[in-house]
Structure 1
Amino acid sequence: MIPSVLPTYNRAPLSFVKGEGSWLFEADGRRFLDLGAGIAVNALGHANPELASTLKAQADTLWHVSNLYNIPQQQELADRLVAATFADTVFFTNSGTESCELAVKMARKYWYDKGQPERTTIITFDGSFHGRSSAGIAAAGSEKMTKGFAPLLPGFRHLKFGDHDALKEAMKAPDVAAILIEPVQGEGGIRPLPEVCLKGIRAVCDETGALMMLDEVQCGVGRTGKLFAHEWAGVTPDVMMVAKGIGGGFPLGAVLATEEAASGMTAGTHGSTYGGNPLGCAVGNKVMQIVSDPAFLDGVNAKANRFRQGLEALVDQHPTVFESVRGLGLMIGIKCKALNTDVVKAGYDAGILTVPAGDNVLRLLPALNIPDEDITESLARLEQAATALEQKS
């Protein structure tokens, strides 16, 4: 008999009833150190008092009016994002998946309005993840994402990650509208795209006119130690998808774009009932106010360095469990020799929460403001999990 909640998740046998900073509390009273942060969502930790106060104040005033009317909180957040980034304009969504849908529409409408409606193909890369909508799974293209859901949305061309020659050849096709890529792949195994590659993509887009579209749903909003990951390479995209951390736990996403890239999206071409509502944008404004502070981002990099050093030592101490450390900022991956899902389960027994990813990688995505003492405790609990695995083998 099917359960009342559609069984599409392989859930861990844990039920959390309270969160505080980097900690989650199980219904039975156990405390877990959370290095997943709701898959990079709780950027400022659980029950952050500043975010909670902001949300409560807005909830006492106005929740929802729809986009039939001007929303002051939305305008404020759009202005804040435009001032802090390459973008000239912003559309607000509720999730990364919705952001992907708009990015795809924006690229195709751009070329339609330019009188080149044949330019509909979007180039994507293996190991990518762009959500679970029809466009998102077609963009990723992997069998894991697409099996059983044919016919797939057409108009995507998939290339091998890091194959520069294949990209240059593919860009010669007259139907290419855009390139869509994550500066750091999350689901694909914490694979940062080298800065030279991002610069090369920008160059080839400039040569062909194709739009450079970045998926920063997981790697954006301070996660890598810059406000957005592409800033490390010193390039600017034409379109960028954002979600997860921007709401600090409240469902919120956005698509940022230049005036040129967004030129086809006129009144009536897109919409969202909930996107950019007063509640979400009030929280998003507070998140951006905190995370965009250069001193805060310096702190993220300092914490990342501290974490990285400890993890490198952990890999050296447990060579049968771990292989290497990779990532950028507080978007960290540990390549495992043991099965990564076994490491995750061993972590449950040690009171620590991590997230598996592709390429047998363990994802660590802690709150960006994780205290140093919690980093120390994280390393101790990962050590405990690794030791337990070694004793079983």
Structure 2
Amino acid sequence: MPPSCQLLPGSLSAARVAFSINQIMQRGFSSSSALYRNPLMPRKGGDLGKHEPRYIIPQDAKIPEYPYGLNLHYHQSNKGLYGGQKIEFGNNVSNKTKTKTRRFWKPNVHSKGLYSLALKKRINLRVTTKVLRIIDKEGGIDNYLLKPSEARIKELGVLGWSFRWTLLQKPVVIERLRAEAVALGIPQEEIDQRWPEPTRPVAERDAAEQAVLDAVERAGLDEGQNVDKKIIAEDARAEYISALQAAKRYLSRNIVDSLEDGIKAAFVRQRIRQQNTNRFAKQARECDLLDPEAQAAVRESKRAARQARFDNVGGQSGYLAMQKNSYAQAIMDAENAMHNESLPEEDRLFYQSAIAKARRAIENRSPKAYVQATLDASGIQPQLNAQKASNEDAWGHIVDKPANTNP
């Protein structure tokens, strides 16, 4: 018995102990959100990695030497973005006796998490309030680090220089620099020399090639068929995953009634989805070249145009209903495309191939089974070689073939 309860009557002290134990047990096994959280549940954002600079900057990379070297007088500025600030020394002067007393001023440093669009990570580092104001003015930490100015490079420090080099290795930054060089009128030969096209790392290429080889091995193919089957397997897997994601997106927005209809709509709208992806990527690249005020104006115009579309059809619910009707009509037209003589031959073949892909995807609900079914349905070797040479998609051979009437 604890000392605080020794002077109490036996029944009273026992009741208090029993009440405290009962209260602890209730709180320990409570399932309310305020007291319990699943420790295995991933955090929002999906990125569970470390966000300190030593985990984001490659440790084995050969980063060029910083032209201004380490700061030997203020060592902690080498581990953050200090903007060239350092400890300043001066005097406190008395108003009456004019007595001077030595003092110093330290930079106003904070630990902040700044999100990088190129790295797709939130970077935790020490940064001064002066640099934070400049980052807000520039429109993000990426623009702050990538500004082509000698004064900016001088104030970056060793850590900022390493971050700048890390950003310059990303494909999205390379494409941005190439677009800016084209806008400035730099010759294409010099652009290709200074900013070569980004390539996949060797480890990533090896992993992709190994995945394709595993799919070929599961299919039990001959050694001479590996080249064409690898191409088909890789395209099949990518196309199936893209169509399934689009189908789930349609179903979540109530544009289709079932996942099967969503898969059909995804394959039928494959060309439209690809065109929209290319158009959005082009608009994003063009918007990145503008200043922050122009970017805000572009976003506001897009928002106004979207709201105008909603108002013309009776709001967002009316717009979704219109989309649902158009998707259902597109599926019906694709299923009856072979009997529609008014359609061009190319469109009829595309719709027939899209419906065949959708049926195969509905029957095989996993990438592995879908790749296997596609490889099993592939035609003879010369046909695949001719098809790949004509730059057709890897699914054109899946259409229903007429029965062989040769004896």
User: Does TM-score exceed 0.5, indicating one fold?
Assistant: no
TM-score (norm 1): 0.22
- Higher helix proportion (structure 1 or 2): 2
> Which is strand-richer, 1 or 2?
1
Whose relative contact order is higher, 1 or 2, with alpha carbons under 8 Å and at least 6 apart? 1
For normalisation by structure 2, the TM-score amounts to 0.22
